[in-house]
Structure 1
C-alpha cells in the first residue's frame, strides 16, 4: 500500500521517502529517526511528542529530520509502517504451523510485554486509539497492518487444518480474528495496568478456543 496525502506546505501530493530512495547511510539515519519516534510516541502519546524531542532522541539535526520527514504526521505514518513490518517479521509468528508453535509465540509475547512494561502496547492498537477518526488515511495504514497480521495467523491455522491438527470444519479466519484481538487488546491493557495478567488471560482464552477445534 503506497500512502499519499496532501501536504499544504508542499502544495501537492507527497509520498514519504522510502528506504529504496536512499543510500545505506541515509537508510540507517532514517531508521534511527523512526526508532526514536516509535519509542517516544508509545511512551508519551502522539499529542505529547514533539519533533524536537524526536530529533534529540535520534541524535540528528533539524535539517536531517526534515530531510526525511516533512512533519510529525509523515513520521507517524512511517512508524506505523515500520512497526507493522517488524510485527509480521517475528520469526515465531512467521513460522507458526502448529498449536505448539502458537503456545511458544504466546510465551514470547508475554515475556516481551513483561520486559517492556509501559512500552508494551502494540503500536497498531495504541495509535488507532489516539487517532480515532481524525485521520482516515493513517487509520487505513493501521487497518491494513491488522488485516495482514490476521491473514498471517489465519494462514498458520489453515496449515494446521490441512495437516490434520484442526478439524476440517474449523473457521480459521474467525479464530485468527480472535487471536489478534486477544493480542492487541491484551497489550493495550498491559500498557495501562502495567501488568501482563490480562494479556495472559486473553491469549490463553483464545488458544483454548483453538484447542476446542482439535481432534
Structure 2
C-alpha cells in the first residue's frame, strides 16, 4: 500500500494498515506496537501531553484500533510506565552490592530508580506532567504501579524485616507506596538538581531512618 506524503517523511504506512479487519495482528503484538508508539510520542513531546490521535499516527493505525486495545491515553502511558518499571527494578536490584544490608540496599534502590527517572526522556515526560496516571494508581494504596514495584521489592523487604533490620510494624505494601511517592518528589527540582553526595545524605537521613531500625 502506498504511503501519503507525510508518511513518506517518517517511513510509516497509511493509518490502519496493520489494524484493519483484514490485517489484524495477534493481541500481544498489537499492544506491543502501540506501547512502543506511545513511548516514541512521549520522547517527541517531552511533556507527557500526548493524544490518542498522535499515538495512532505514530503506530500507523486508526484511532479505533488504539481503542480496541487501550481505553485511552492514560492506559497507554500506564503500559509504558509498567514496562519501564520492570526493566528499571530488575536492573537496580541486580546490581545491589550488599543485599543483606537493608540500609545500604534501600539507599541504592531509591537513588538508582530516581537517577533512572532523571536521565530517561520518557520517564521525565511522565513525571514532569504530574501524571494523572500515577496519581490515580497511588490513590488509596492500590493500582498496578504499586503492584509492580511490590512484586520486586517485597521479597527483600520481608527478609530484612524478618531479621530485624526493618521496623516490625511496617506494612510492606504501604512502605512501597511511600517509597514511590517519595521517589516521585525526588524526581523533580530542587532535589533532582542536587549533587549525588547531597542526595545520598538526604536519603540516608530522611528515607532510611523511617524504615530501618537503629543499629
Q: Could you say which TM-score interval applies, normalised by the shorter chain?
A: 0.5 to 0.7
1:179-201 residue CA offsets vs partner (Å, 9 max, x unmatched): 222112222x24xx593439937
Summarize the alignment of residues 172-211 of structure 1 with structure 2, pairs less than 5 Å apart. 172-173=171-172, 175-187=175-187, 189-190=188-189, 193=190, 195-197=192-194, 200=199, 203-204=203-204, 205-211=206-212
For the 8 Å contact 2:74–2:132, the answer to whether it is kept is no
* Runs of 5+ consecutive residues of structure 2 not aligned to the other structure: 1-24
Alignment of 1:61-80 (within 5 A): 61-63=60-62, 66-69=64-67, 74-80=72-78
Kindly tell me: are residues 124 and 87 of structure 1, through their superposed partners in 2, closer, same or farther at Cα, counting changes over 3 Å? farther
* Superposed CA RMSD: 4.3
Q: Which stretch shows the higher mean deviation, 193-202 or 78-87?
A: 193-202
Alignment of 1:1-215 (within 5 A): 21-22=26-27, 24=29, 26-39=30-43, 43-46=46-49, 49-55=50-56, 58=58, 60-63=59-62, 66-69=64-67, 74-89=72-87, 90-92=89-91, 98=100, 99=102, 100-116=104-120, 119-120=123-124, 123=127, 126-128=130-132, 139=136, 143-149=142-148, 151-152=150-151, 153-162=153-162, 164=163, 166=165, 169-173=168-172, 175-187=175-187, 189-190=188-189, 193=190, 195-197=192-194, 200=199, 203-204=203-204, 205-211=206-212, 213-215=213-215
Q: Is the 8 A contact 1:161 1:168 kept in 2?
A: yes
Question: What TM-score, normalized to structure 1?
Answer: 0.57
Distance 1:128 1:156, change over 3 A: farther
Q: TM-score, normalised by structure 2?
A: 0.57
Question: Aligned partners of 1:36 and 1:178: how far apart in 2?
Answer: 30
Q: Which runs of 5+ in 1 are unaligned?
A: 1-19, 133-138
Q: Distance in 2 between matches of 1:75 and 1:118?
A: 14
> Deviation string for 1:38-87 (max 9, x for gaps)?
4356x2243xx34454455x3x4353x54233699624213213312431
- Across the two proteins, how many residue pairs are aligned to each other? 177
